């Protein structure tokens, strides 16, 4: 049985690149180090992305944004990627990416944690 996931081709590439980074660096570095390494890996495989991009935050049906928040990555204009370098992901991190997806009007996100012994990630869809 094949599961049809939205933007599966993009998220699989991001996850693969993340595993490549974690395989080489392991855990224990600051988030910015993983961000720079992931930038290299995604560029190498030809993914289009924006890093540290200010994303508008929208509220309800208001057409004008109410502020901005800097996203770690927006890949192919469709997938939000938030990086962490912590021992373990918690519910607050999942709530954070869900809120960002809603505020940025995006549907798919990846929460990637490089801080644990093994790479961990959550794929989030609104």
What CATH fold (topology level) applies to the domain 8-125?
Answer: Trna Endonuclease; Chain: A, domain 1 (3.40.1350)
Backbone angles phi, psi at 50, to 5 degrees: -120, 135
Taking the CA of residue 25 as centre, how many other CA atoms within 13 Å lie in the half-sphere pointing to its CB? 25
Which range, of 35-49, 58-72, 77-91, 104-118, averages the lowest pLDDT?
Answer: 58-72
**What are the boundaries of each domain within the chain?**
8-125
Predicted local confidence at residue 1, as pLDDT: 56
More confident residue, 50 or 63: 50
Is a pLDDT exceeding 80 seen at residue 3?
Answer: no
Closest CA to 31 of 57, 54, 55, 52: 52
What lies within 8 Å, CB to CB, of 74 at 6+ separation is 49, 50, 53, 55, 80, 81, 104, 106
Tens digits of per-residue pLDDT, 7-30? 999 999 999 999 999 999 999 999
């Amino acid at each position: 049985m094949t599961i049809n996931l939205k933007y599966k081709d993009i998220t699989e590439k991001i996850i693969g690149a993340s595993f490549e980074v974690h395989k080489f660096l392991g855990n224990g570095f600051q988030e910015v180090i993983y961000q720079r390494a992931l930038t290299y890996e995604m560029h190498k495989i030809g993914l289009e992305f924006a890093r540290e991009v200010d994303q508008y935050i929208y509220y309800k049906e208001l057409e004008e944004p109410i502020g901005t928040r800097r996203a770690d990555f927006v890949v192919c204009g469709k997938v939000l990627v938030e990086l962490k370098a912590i021992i373990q992901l918690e519910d607050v991190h999942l709530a954070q990416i869900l809120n960002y997806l809603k505020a940025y009007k995006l549907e798919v996100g990846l929460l990637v944690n490089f801080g644990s012994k093994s790479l961990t990630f959550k794929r989030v869809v609104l």
